[in-house]
Structure 1
Amino acid sequence: MRGGNVLNTDKKQEIRAKLVMKLIPYLRKNGLQSIRMEEIAKVMEVSRATLYKYFSTKEEIIGFIVAGFIEYMNELTNSHFDTDQSFGTRFQLIFEQSVSLVEYFTDIFIKELETSYPEWYDRFNEGMKKREQYLLAFYAEGIQKGIFNPISGRLLIAQDEILRGMFNVKYLMTNQLTVQQILTDYYQLKKIQLFKPDKLTVIDDAVIEQRIAYLTQKITKNLY
C-alpha cells in the first residue's frame, strides 16, 4: 500500500510540474499579482476543478515554482567533481543554469515575488546566494589550478545579466539576431574569456550544442 502511495505522489508531482510549465511563460511576461485562479486554469488548459485537485491556492503554485528552481540550483551546488576535465563539464552546467534562471526569473517576476510573496522571495534569494558562493569558489579554484584566466568571479556572475535585455522580440528584430545565435556566441565568449588557451581542450563543445538547441526552442516559444 505504501508503494502505491509513493507512486501516486510521484504522479501527482509530475502532473503539477507539467501544469506549472504551461503557466511560467505567462507569469514571466505578465507578473503574479493580477492573475486569478480562473485565469490560471485557462492558461494551464484545465478546468478549475482539475486545477484545485493539484493546487489549492495561487500561493501554493508560486511556492511550487520557486521550490523547483531552488532544487534545480542545488543540483549544481551539491555536486562534486575532482578532475581537470570536470571544469569543462561544470562550466557548461553553470552556463545552462544561468540562461534558464535569466529566462524564467524576469525583473517583473522577481519584483512581484518580493512584494507579494516575501517568504518565497527570501528563500529564492538564499538559493541564489548559495549558488553565487559556489560559483565564486569554482572560479577561484580554476584560477588557482591554472585552468582559468585571473578574472573577477563577481564580474563573470554579473555579466549574465546582459542576457535579460537580449531575450525580447524587439532586440532580436532590431539587431537581426536569433536566440540560437545569442546563446552560441555568448557561450563562446564566456568560454574564451574564462579558460586559458592551452586548457580549452578540457571542454567538449559537442555536449553543449544539444543543450543550446533545447534552450533555443524553449526561449523562442516563450517569446512569440
Structure 2
Amino acid sequence: MNRNETDKKHKARSKLIAKLIPYLRKNGLQSVRMDEIARVMEVSRATLYKYFSTKEEIIGFIIEGFIGYINELTLQPLDSEQSFSSRFQLIFEQTVSLNEYFTEIFLKELETSYPEWHDKLDEAMKQRERLILAFYEEGVHKGIFNNVNGKLLIKQDEILRGMFNVKYLMTNQLTVEQVLHDYYQLKKIQLFKPDKLSAVDDAGMMPRIEHLTQKITKHLF
C-alpha cells in the first residue's frame, strides 16, 4: 500500500472512529460487539472488517489517536509571551476534551479488558503532566506566571468531569458554555500575572470554546 492509499485509509478509519467514540463513552467497552459497532458507525460488517479486523484493533486506534493528540504539547516552542498563551490555551482545550471523553467507566473497562493500551495511555498522561509542570515552572521563572503550585492546578482540572453532567448543570442553572467560559477565565487569572494577561488572545479562544460546547452538549443529550 503506497503513502496516498495509507493516508486515505487512515482518514476513513478516523471518520468511523469519530462516530463510535461517543457511544463507547456512554456504554463502555466490554459489552459492545462488532455488529453493534458496525451499526453505530453506519456501515456494513463487511465494510467494518475492511478497516478493522478486531475490537482490540479499534481500541488501539482510539488510544493511539489520543496519545498523538496529547503529544501535540511538545510541538509548540516557548519563545515569546504569546507562545505561553498559545500553549496555555492548548492545555486547556486538551484538558476539557480528555476529561469529557475519558469517563470513569471507559478508563476502568480499558484497564480491565485492554491493560496494555491502558498502560500506554496512562504513561502518555503522566508524561503530559510532567510537561505541564515544566511549562508552569518555566512561566514562573520568566516572570509570566504567578508562583502557584502546578500540581494543584492539574488536580483542580478533575472537577470538570463532574460538571459535564445534566443533573449538575440543571441544578445550578448552568450551561456547558458558561462552565467552559468561566473555568477558562479562572485558569487564566490563576496562572498569568496581571500585567501579562494582555498576552492572552481570548478572541482566538472563543471559537474553540464554542466548538467544545457543541461537542459536549451533543454527548450529554
Q: TM-score, normalised by structure 2?
A: 0.98
- Deviation, 1:9, is 1.0
Q: Does 1:158 align with 2:159?
A: no
- Out of 106, 128, 134, the position equivalent to 2:131 is 134
Counterpart residue identity of residue 195, structure 2? D
Counterpart residue identity of residue 125, structure 1? D
Q: Does 1:10 align with 2:7?
A: yes
Mapped partners of 2:89, 2:137: distance in 1: 17
Q: What aligned pairs does 1:50-199 form with structure 2 within 5 A after superposition?
A: 50-199=47-196
- Deviation, 1:146, is 1.3
- Deviation, 1:75, is 1.1
Q: Alpha-carbon deviations, 1:22-50, whole Å to 9, x = none?
A: 11111111110000001111111111111
Aligned to 1:39: 36
RMSD (Å), alpha carbons: 1.0
* Percent pairwise identity: 73
2:34, 2:45 within 8 Å by CA — same for their partners in 1?
yes
Counterpart residue identity of residue 81, structure 1? L
Q: Alpha-carbon deviations, 1:121-144, whole Å to 9, x = none?
A: 010011001100100000001111
Point out where structure 2 has 5 or more consecutive residues left out of the alignment.
none
Point out where structure 1 has 5 or more consecutive residues left out of the alignment.
none
Q: Alpha-carbon deviations, 1:96-129, whole Å to 9, x = none?
A: 0110110111111111111110000010011001
2:76, 2:87 within 8 Å by CA — same for their partners in 1?
no
2:17, 2:41 within 8 Å by CA — same for their partners in 1?
yes
Mapped partners of 1:178, 1:84: distance in 2: 32
Q: Alpha-carbon deviations, 1:118-176, whole Å to 9, x = none?
A: 00001001100110010000000111111111111111111111000011111111111
- Deviation, 1:78, is 3.8
1:77, 1:131 within 8 Å by CA — same for their partners in 2?
no
Counterpart residue identity of residue 29, structure 2? L
